[in-house]
Structure 1
Amino acid sequence: MDLSQLGSTLKGQSGDVSVDSLKDLDYIGFYFSAHWCPPCRQFTPVLAKFYNELKATDKGKSMEIIFVTCDRDADKFQAYFKEMPWLAVPFEAEDIRSTLSKKHNVSGIPYFVLVNAKTGEVITTEGRSKVTQEPANFPWA
């Protein structure tokens, strides 16, 4: 995967994180969501539980989730992002968010796509249902 499409830094809960820190990962999940979206607000805690449980295993050490906000307000983005244990494309990086949305054909949210971090190949665009129905089968390949 061409990590340069993510810019140089992502937001973490305790500050900026270099995109270079993702280079050894096997999987990256892109989570398209928004504060104003009720289905998103319901799915985010489910995804967070999955993420935290996965990160406690060897499989989880090779995966990261990146939140791509669909919010139009920086304060709403920030408040919502505080509920998430993963990384985010900075709110100010609208061009990156738009590029990712187009690349992954996002037409509705919440949308969770898992990609091979080395090749950029999409593993599943059905991440939302996979997380809720088949969490033990990660990475669903």
Structure 2
Amino acid sequence: RSEKNCIRRLSETGNIYSMSGLSFFQSILGNKVLKGTQEVDLKEVVEPADYVAVYISSSDRHPAGRGAWIHSSSFDPLFIKAYQEISKKGGKKLATIFVTCDTLDYEFKSYFGKMPWHAVPYTNKEYTGYCGKAAKYLNCHRIPKLAFFNKEGKLLEADGLRLVYEKGADCLKMLDPVTKTAHMKELMEKLFAVMDLNSDGYVDADEIKECLIILGCPPEQTSEEVKKWMTRDQDGDGKLSKAEFTVAEYRLNDQATTEALTDDLAAKKKVSLLLASIVYSYPVLRAGYTSSRSISSIKRLEARWTS
């Protein structure tokens, strides 16, 4: 959905499909970027790269926007370390362009001075800030925001923060469709093992209902959601085999789900990968039903996940 919205917004001002990769990046970042204090052509940065990351953030003086689950002061060291490791490894090349949301020039200079990558000049107001073209294209309402593109300008990952947070320097591997699909399948198989409460090799309606209740799904919606899950029962035996269960799409980069899950930072710190996986897999939980009350109730499921 995030990619479709981005395409729609860019299509309002021109034909996105007629753009080359360089033209696309110039349309949201401008023609010039900074490397330290020197301006260089964006072409020199983008064309040699295999992937391009657009990082929208601001100095520590400004708090993260509502719903942002990690502050730039916590994320920046992780991203810098991952970026440096990627550069040292060789292989796929990552170009990163910083887009500032700072309101003062000295704040931008101080903040950007700690970064090892390039930046859109602070003075280029057409492309910086929340009203800049990059932020509008990515529908950025909270910072930090990190998105990964291929060199042709195709959006590969809208939730780059989570990808770097979870994978570090291996984040580029997850941009490969084959690797990402295999990873999603593995996560769904682990989720299947967790939800198979009686370990009989199947997940039935009662087990799905119990997991939803544990997660805090409203009772009035539980039955309807169970029915949706059971539509995957292809052979009509009233239960889901692993093959039927793992057909479900794992929405790792679903923006709405991410925002719902991360509205409560205190809760986010306590939620295990199990809970994140279940929330991403259940559309009904996008409204943000996870809470500190439900977290204390999932210890039994967490134990199954980590065992």
Alignment of 1:9 with 2:35, yes or no, is: no
Partner residue of 2:110?
79
Partner residue of 2:127?
96
Write the distance in 1 (CA, Å) between the matches of 2:52 and 2:140. Answer: 16
Alignment of 1:126 with 2:126, yes or no, is: no
Partner residue of 1:111?
145
Contact in 1 for aligned 2:164/2:171 (Cα 8 Å): no
Instruction: Report the Cα offset of residue 129 of structure 1.
Output: 1.1
Alignment of 1:45 with 2:70, yes or no, is: no
* Higher strand content, 1 or 2: 1
Partner residue of 2:204?
none
Cα shift readout 1:1-57 (whole Å, capped 9, x = no counterpart)? 223223221011151121121223221101111102351122111111110011112
TM-score (structure 1 length as normaliser)? 0.91
Partner residue of 2:196?
none
Write the distance in 2 (CA, Å) between the matches of 1:129 and 1:89. Answer: 23
Alignment of 1:23 with 2:18, yes or no, is: no
Look up the SS of the partner of 1:138 in the other structure: helix
Write the distance in 1 (CA, Å) between the matches of 2:160 and 2:148. Answer: 7
Quick one: structure 1 residues 70 and 107, their matched pair in 2 at CA, closer, same or farther if it must change by over 3 Å?
same
Write the distance in 1 (CA, Å) between the matches of 2:62 and 2:173. Answer: 26
TM-score (structure 2 length as normaliser)? 0.43
The answer for unaligned runs of 5 or more in structure 2 is 1-20, 64-70, 176-307
Write the distance in 2 (CA, Å) between the matches of 1:139 and 1:95. Answer: 33
Write the distance in 2 (CA, Å) between the matches of 1:3 and 1:102. Answer: 13
Cα shift readout 1:68-93 (whole Å, capped 9, x = no counterpart)? 00111111000000010000000011
Look up the SS of the partner of 1:59 in the other structure: coil
CA RMSD of aligned residues (A): 1.5
Cα shift readout 1:70-123 (whole Å, capped 9, x = no counterpart)? 1111110000000100000000111022001000111111111001122x1111
Look up the SS of the partner of 2:48 in the other structure: coil
Instruction: Report the Cα offset of residue 58 of structure 1.
Output: 2.1
Alignment of 1:67 with 2:92, yes or no, is: no
* Higher helix content, 1 or 2: 2
Higher RCO structure (Cα 8 Å, ≥6 apart): 1
Write the distance in 1 (CA, Å) between the matches of 2:124 and 2:173. Answer: 28
Look up the SS of the partner of 1:47 in the other structure: helix
Write the distance in 2 (CA, Å) between the matches of 1:14 and 1:72. Answer: 19
Instruction: Report the Cα offset of residue 139 of structure 1.
Output: 4.1
Q: Percent identity?
A: 26
Equivalent residue pairs, number: 139
Write the distance in 1 (CA, Å) between the matches of 2:81 and 2:91. Answer: 15
Partner residue of 2:190?
none
